[in-house]
Amino acid sequence: MPARSQLTLLRIRGIRIGVDYSWFLVLFLIIWWLSGFYRDLLGVDDGAIEPYLLGVASALAFFASILLHELGHALVAIRNGIPISDITLWFFGGVARMTRDTDSPGTEFRVAIAGPAVTLAIALACAGVGIAAAGAAELWDAMRVSDDAETSGALALLAWLGSINLLVLIFNLIPAFPLDGGRIARAIAWKITGDRTRATRFAAAVGQGFSWLFIALGVLLAVQYGDLITGVWLALIGFILGQSARGHAVQSEFASRIEGIRVEDVMDAEPVAIPENASVEQALDEYFLRYRWPWFPVVDAAERFRGLLERDTADAVPEPSRSSQTVSGLIAGDESTLRVLADAPLESLLGNEELRRLGGLAAVDADGRLRGVVTADQVGRALRDALARPMKSSPT
């Protein structure tokens, strides 16, 4: 899976939508391939602009459908009380990051099925519009994705979008964790066994099995049939699928060990914070030089968390301006990603990119007031203590 998205595009209902840099490579490849396809379909010369415009429109529509797929997961997760930190579009599609795992088989199933349901709706909508506009026979001819099909560019775009979403739907329903089909399989196993960790182990094992199958098929296509591009692509998907399945299994094991532990149980409940109206000179003299910490949380008059002030940022302010400039104008980062609810389960911090980068996060109450600071060392200590204890017996 990708690291935290590198470029923020927009926010939807408070969810940060971003893209990993690998997304731009895929966007270019799709536009390049589709431009050639539309050029052959329309029978125009290399200088024509229409094939390129159709290629760009198709690629953007495809990634819009991937975003809608992930928003389907995200909105159902939020409706079930699971916050979403961000949605990232990347080399292999998209991923919606939940701040914690689901807490019941029913929730797991609803969140997992939401994305495929959206993708199915998109495919059906494309088919419905195409049939209404040109008839079922013309749409089917266009969906064959053959450059000798006699169809218009607009209908070919619609047919391709419907076809690619159908392909995404089928692929996502493969019961290989952490694909949507694998999460559905985990929900079913969880319901049967009553044990999330055992269900995750089962789903991860199936996912790893499919990963080896994809790798083997990729090697076969590349070596035996000479289809190098498809073979390498399939093998790479298999490798990433296997790595992700193993990672989720380990994370689930950790989560089961720290179940019931909350952020407020391990955080420093007496944090040192800088008032937002303090001068940069005051911040440097009374906080950074005194405590020697790389950053401090910044709060307003009501003790509400505003963001972080980092030492390098304060040092960069010219000395003549430090006495007159306040720290409120130097707050770094996206405030929503730098904090966690004090009563949130500790497992919500597993894999948190900002915690790893900064070494700590602000812990706030429901009103956004600063209640503590939780560090990576505290989380690591809690994990080590939990792993030292014997596992609870699983229900049978």
Q: What is the pLDDT of residue 150?
A: 65
392 pLDDT above the threshold of 70: no
HEC assignment per residue over 355-375: HHHHCEEEEECCCCEEEEEEE
Q: What is the pLDDT of residue 146?
A: 52
164 within 8 A of 123, measured Cβ to Cβ? no
341 pLDDT above the threshold of 80: yes
Residue 65 CB burial class (10 angstroms; 0-12, 13-18, ≥19):
buried
> Residue 29: enclosing H or E segment and its boundaries?
helix 22-42
Q: Burial letters for 19-29: b for 16+ Cβ neighbours within 10 Å, e otherwise?
A: bbeebeebbee
Instruction: Tell me the pLDDT of the chain averaged across its residues.
Output: 86
Eight-class DSSP state of 393: P
What's the pTM value of the predicted model, to 2 decimals? 0.73
| Digit-coded pLDDT (tens) for 81-99 | 888 878 988 877 888 888 7
Residue 11 binned pLDDT confidence (cut-offs 50, 70, 90): confident
| Digit-coded pLDDT (tens) for 166-188 | 999 999 999 888 889 999 999 99
Question: Positive or negative CA dihedral for 217, 220, 222, 225?
Answer: negative
Arithmetic mean of pLDDT, 37-62: 86
Q: What is the pLDDT of residue 332?
A: 67
In sequence order, the β-bridge partners of residue 94 are 89
